[in-house]
Amino acid sequence: MNDKVIDIHKLQQYLPHRYPFLLVDRVLDYELGKWIKAVKNVTVNEPFFTGHFPQRPVMPGVLLLEALAQASGVLAFLTTGDDPTSQSIYYFAGIDKARFKRVVEPGDQVILEAEIVRTKRELVKMEGRALVDDVVVCTAAWSCVKKGDDSDS
């Protein structure tokens, strides 16, 4: 078994999100300062499906981007060695080049892959993709910024 697997219980130590907005179920692997691979299991019970769309449930693209950002927040905390606290959080700071290739539906398992492109002080620039059955469903570049503790200046 890979010793870098992070289950949902440990993930909740790194992410402040909770149901229904916690969009990462497990970290499969990572390399500090480089990349992370995580998973989001999509079920028909997701609350957004009741309105998006009742006749044909589709996961909103913005939530795919949020899932990628959440995975990258975990990588940022792992890389810096910081303890995530309510006073220290990585926030989604920006998004570029978001592209959606196909819809994500109930029953899909989304693999989230993100890599660090550049780090500058409290800002981390990332890029990545989401895949279902080895098919790319979304690509993007984004940035996260650490706020809290002594980084609020």
The 10s digit of each residue's pLDDT in 13-46 is 999 899 999 999 999 999 999 999 999 999 999 9
Residue 109 phi/psi, 5-degree rounding, is -110, 115
List 4, 17, 52, 147, catalytic entry: 52
What is the per-residue pLDDT for 153?
45
Residue 144 lies in a domain: yes
Inside any domain, residue 90: yes
The total of structural domains in the chain comes to: 1
* Residue 72 included in any domain: yes
Structural tokens at position 110: 């989304």
Contact 26, 11 (CB under 8 A): yes
The helix/strand/coil state of 125 is strand
Residue 52 among the catalytic residues: yes
- In the predicted model, what is the mean pLDDT of residues 79-93? 81
Q: Exposed (0-12), middle (13-18) or buried (19+): which is 132, by Cβ within 10 Å?
A: buried
pTM: 0.93
- Any domain includes 29: yes
Q: What is the DSSP letter of 106?
A: T
CA distance 120 to 62: 25
